[in-house]
Structure 1
Amino acid sequence: MESGDAKPMNHYELLTGLLINLLVILIVILLLNFHFLSRNKVHKVHMKPLSLYLISSFLMILSLGLSVQLEDGFLYDLRFIPFLLGGIYGGTRVLPWLAATMIAIRVPMLGEGLAITAIIAIVFTMVILYLRPKLMTKALRVRVYSYTAVSFVYSILSLWIPAMIFDFGKPSSFAIYSAVLTGSTFFVYYLCEIIRTIHILQLKSIKYEKMQVVSHLAASMSHEVRNPLTTVKGFLQLINEDPSNITNNKVLSEVAVSEIDRATEVINQYLNFARPHPELEEEIAIRDEINRSKEIIMPLAVKKGIILKANILHHHSIMGDPNKLQQILINVMKNGLEAMESGGTLRIFSYLEERKVIIVINDTGIGMTKEQLMRLGEPYFSMKGKNGTGLGMMTVFQLVEGMKGTIKVLSKPGKGTSVIMSFPTYQKEQKEHTPKQTTEVRSSLH
């Protein structure tokens, strides 16, 4: 609030002018918050004192430019809000300079209000510096209410003192200015704190999720590797106790070797997850690779009484590592077989759609709920109970992504599951695709 020559302005225009001032402050603060927080990747939000000073000074000058002139020549603005925020977040390294700036931008206007501005700036600099360390450890609600009270006291003093000196009194104007400044301080400071708090919580949540993945992987590896190693240790002890029993020791050693192979397989799955991108890039004939994987999985299907059908509607190729693609296909097909305890049909489709090779593996097994689908691919989540680690599907997701493909899983309890994978076609291949075939394949999916 300052003095000077002005035309009369009614209370509606006073309220409108102050709200426009508030809107400009909010827009600038929101944009700057998002800018600085998006660049900040640590859990403690920090802004350099110089940046904070320049931003606060800019907002104070902007607020003065948007000041509202009342009858009898008084100017009302919301420059105290950036002054207060700069003091809260900048402390002793910013606030004294902001006080000097507040006085300096008032100097060109001169008049009796200059002395009042200087006194108020110095007084509230000391008040904020006194309260800041005491409120830093308090709850958000206490901080917001305390700084809002400071703003209310400022609104009273910045009006009451000039009114006493210049014999000016308009209670309704005082009330409007005080209410807008106090409410604006509450809203702006609370908004800044909420934005900062949400950003910090997001960073902590990301860190927590990473730690959860590590803990799941550690627990899974410990569980899966310890069991075969314990078996090997026990068998070696038995062999050592009776080295002359060749027949029995041969059986024990074979079991021990098989357990070591199982532990090696678990470790290989972890390595595939850690290095999902194919190391080899070459042309892969989809028809040949699906037939090869079908032959590998066929004995297990026959053993379980499951019918295995393949329908490949093209001769196109993709780029990638054939061994990795085979691992993807076998893992998905094996999961489909294990989901059909009492027999069923496992179908493999492949067709071309919009220059992409689509591979669909469909089973008629127990299916999955929406909640289970959402967790599919998480480490240590498996539909096999204690017999599964979840590493198989986790590796499948990673390998498909590494081959620049996408994967989608559709499932309903009791009706089976469809795993749909899409890969870019090999560019040198000629387009061969009939819409009729694609329609037939789609209609066969549930």
Structure 2
Amino acid sequence: MSHSELFNGLLINLLVILIIILLVNFYHLSNKRVYKVQIKSFPIFITATILIFFSLLLSVEFNNGFIYDLRFIPFLLGGIYGGRKVLPWLAVTMIAVRLPFLGSGLIVTVALTFVSSLAIHYLSPKLAAKPWVRRVYWFTFFSFCYSILGFLLPSLFFGFSDYSSFLIYSVTLTASTFFVFYLCEMIRTTYILQLESIKYEKMQVVSHLAASMSHEVRNPLTTVKGFLQLINENPSDAPTNTELSKIAVSEIDRATEVINQYLNFAKPHPELEIDINVTGEINRSKEIIMPLASKKSIIVEAELLHHHLIKGDPNKLQQVLINVMKNGIEAMESGGMLKIISYEESDRLYIVVSDNGIGMTEEQVTRLGEPYFSLKGKNGTGLGMMTVFQLVDGMNGMVKVLSRKHKGTSIILSFPMSEAKHERENTK
């Protein structure tokens, strides 16, 4: 048996071990809904036994009765990850699969298995708390010691003196142990990070949901507060106060609807999809936002040139429009004009809300819609535009933002048109 055949045989043995380890890990981490990294003892024992069996089948046998293979690697893997319950049974397996071949190497196998089992039984708990890189180095060193012992025993008791074969075996076994354990620890560490990431994302979802709910309820409450202040300033104007009271009540109803939507968030329910009169929703949103605009000396104009309806939820569209209009008004610190334009093009209905406020840089436009990204400092959460993007996407629409610093911003909303048309309403 030549040295090249020995080296090739050991490399094929390593390849089979790696393939089976990868398949087992992919099955465990992908096909099963696991929420912990540790695999049960029995699957580890079965996997290690299969690897030991294949390693022996791919072994390279010399005329002196000694067999070279990498079955120590699955034995070490099973003993480390399977724990003390698996270790004795793997030791019995190591000896049992070697027994049919007999020869002088059988005695060496029994001795090496016994010594290795004691060492693994003692070292495994101590290495469990170590960093994974240090564990890999320890396992590699342990494998190197095993190869040295595997040479000393035959040389002392059976006159073994094939130094070149031993060198090839020792280097290959040590390097293979490092590679296999490094791969296993990397897969294990990556999966731990994945579980932690999933947990963190769940916590972030809860946080965003709570903050978003607070943000969306605060908008109608702010409107109600503004209307109540207007009523208090001029209590004798009964007709105007009656109209303001109606709008305030409708805003309270909208806040209630928002709360109901978030309370039912986890329960699957059919989405409302009806024909929406965009003109009516724009006009209602204008009425709601007018007190805030008047307070800041901002003129609100609308030029509605569309003729068709769109499909979706009217409450969601109104929520989108109010958020966009409110952001536009708050971007104009010392008066200005908020302009709403609608038109149709290529089977889509466009709504453009433009202001001449502070504007945004390209980087700020790119980040628009991220949770907690806001240009309002401590007074903003960034959840208003995040909600806009989500609601528009839920209605099969798109959001485009055009902005220049100190020149203003245009938010372009586009939706698929419905085949139905609406009767023209007064938009002045």
Alignment TM-score, normalising by the size of structure 2: 0.74
Q: How does 1:350-365 map to 2 (within 5 A)?
A: 350-351=343-344, 359-365=351-357
Deviates more, 1:211-220 or 1:186-195: 211-220
The answer for the alignment partner of 1:48 in structure 2 is: 40
SS of 2:36's partner is: coil
How many angstroms does 1:214 deviate by? 4.3
SS of 1:283's partner is: strand
| CA–CA distance in structure 2, aligned partners of residues 260 and 345 of structure 1 | 25
Work out which of the residue numbers 159, 171, 180 in structure 2 matches 1:179.
171
Amino acid at match of 1:76: Y
Q: How does 1:14-29 map to 2 (within 5 A)?
A: 14-29=6-21
Q: How does 1:241-260 map to 2 (within 5 A)?
A: none
Cα separation, partners in 2 of 1:66 and 1:347, compared to 1, 3 Å:
farther
Query: Over residues 368-403 of structure 1, what are the superposed CA-to-partner deviations in whole Å (9 max), with x where a residue is unaligned?
Result: 346645654455543223443444334323433444
Q: How does 1:57-96 map to 2 (within 5 A)?
A: 57-69=49-61, 74-96=66-88
Q: How does 1:223-242 map to 2 (within 5 A)?
A: none
Query: Over residues 281-307 of structure 1, what are the superposed CA-to-partner deviations in whole Å (9 max), with x where a residue is unaligned?
Result: 322244554455456556765764456
Q: Any unmatched runs of 5+ in structure 2?
A: 222-231, 422-428
2:180 aligned with 1:191, yes or no?
A: no
Q: How does 1:99-114 map to 2 (within 5 A)?
A: 99-114=91-106
Q: How does 1:312-327 map to 2 (within 5 A)?
A: 312=305, 315-318=308-311, 320-327=312-319
The answer for the alignment partner of 2:2 in structure 1 is: 9
Work out which of the residue numbers 147, 157, 176 in structure 2 matches 1:155.
147
| Contact 1:344/1:363 (8 A) holds in 2 | yes
Cα separation, partners in 2 of 1:131 and 1:384, compared to 1, 3 Å:
same
| CA–CA distance in structure 2, aligned partners of residues 422 and 99 of structure 1 | 69
Q: Any unmatched runs of 5+ in structure 1?
A: 1-7, 230-246, 431-446
Deviates more, 1:411-420 or 1:260-269: 260-269
The answer for the alignment partner of 1:237 in structure 2 is: none
| CA–CA distance in structure 1, aligned partners of residues 255 and 309 of structure 2 | 33
2:109 aligned with 1:117, yes or no?
A: yes
| Contact 2:352/2:410 (8 A) holds in 1 | yes
| CA–CA distance in structure 2, aligned partners of residues 132 and 68 of structure 1 | 30
| Contact 1:347/1:363 (8 A) holds in 2 | no
Work out which of the residue numbers 182, 186, 200 in structure 1 matches 2:192.
200
| CA–CA distance in structure 2, aligned partners of residues 73 and 356 of structure 1 | 82
Work out which of the residue numbers 276, 283, 292 in structure 1 matches 2:275.
283
Amino acid at match of 2:328: G
| CA–CA distance in structure 1, aligned partners of residues 413 and 398 of structure 2 | 6
| Contact 2:289/2:322 (8 A) holds in 1 | yes
How many angstroms does 1:90 deviate by? 0.7
| CA–CA distance in structure 2, aligned partners of residues 205 and 102 of structure 1 | 40
| CA–CA distance in structure 1, aligned partners of residues 401 and 215 of structure 2 | 28
| Contact 1:306/1:337 (8 A) holds in 2 | no
Work out which of the residue numbers 340, 343, 346 in structure 1 matches 2:336.
343
2:373 aligned with 1:384, yes or no?
A: no
| CA–CA distance in structure 2, aligned partners of residues 194 and 375 of structure 1 | 33
| CA–CA distance in structure 1, aligned partners of residues 55 and 81 of structure 2 | 19
Deviates more, 1:207-216 or 1:147-156: 207-216
How many angstroms does 1:163 deviate by? 3.9
Cα separation, partners in 2 of 1:362 and 1:83, compared to 1, 3 Å:
farther
Alignment TM-score, normalising by the size of structure 1: 0.72
Question: Aligned residues: percent identity?
Answer: 58
How many angstroms does 1:165 deviate by? 4.2
| Contact 1:99/1:125 (8 A) holds in 2 | yes
| Contact 2:356/2:409 (8 A) holds in 1 | yes
| CA–CA distance in structure 2, aligned partners of residues 172 and 187 of structure 1 | 23
| CA–CA distance in structure 1, aligned partners of residues 386 and 377 of structure 2 | 16
How many angstroms does 1:215 deviate by? 5.1
| Contact 1:278/1:321 (8 A) holds in 2 | no
Amino acid at match of 1:24: V
Cα separation, partners in 2 of 1:270 and 1:225, compared to 1, 3 Å:
closer
| CA–CA distance in structure 2, aligned partners of residues 138 and 312 of structure 1 | 70
How many angstroms does 1:91 deviate by? 0.6
SS of 1:368's partner is: coil
SS of 2:83's partner is: helix
Query: When the two structures are aligned, how many residues end up with a matched partner?
Result: 395
Cα separation, partners in 2 of 1:25 and 1:160, compared to 1, 3 Å:
same
Cα separation, partners in 2 of 1:203 and 1:425, compared to 1, 3 Å:
farther
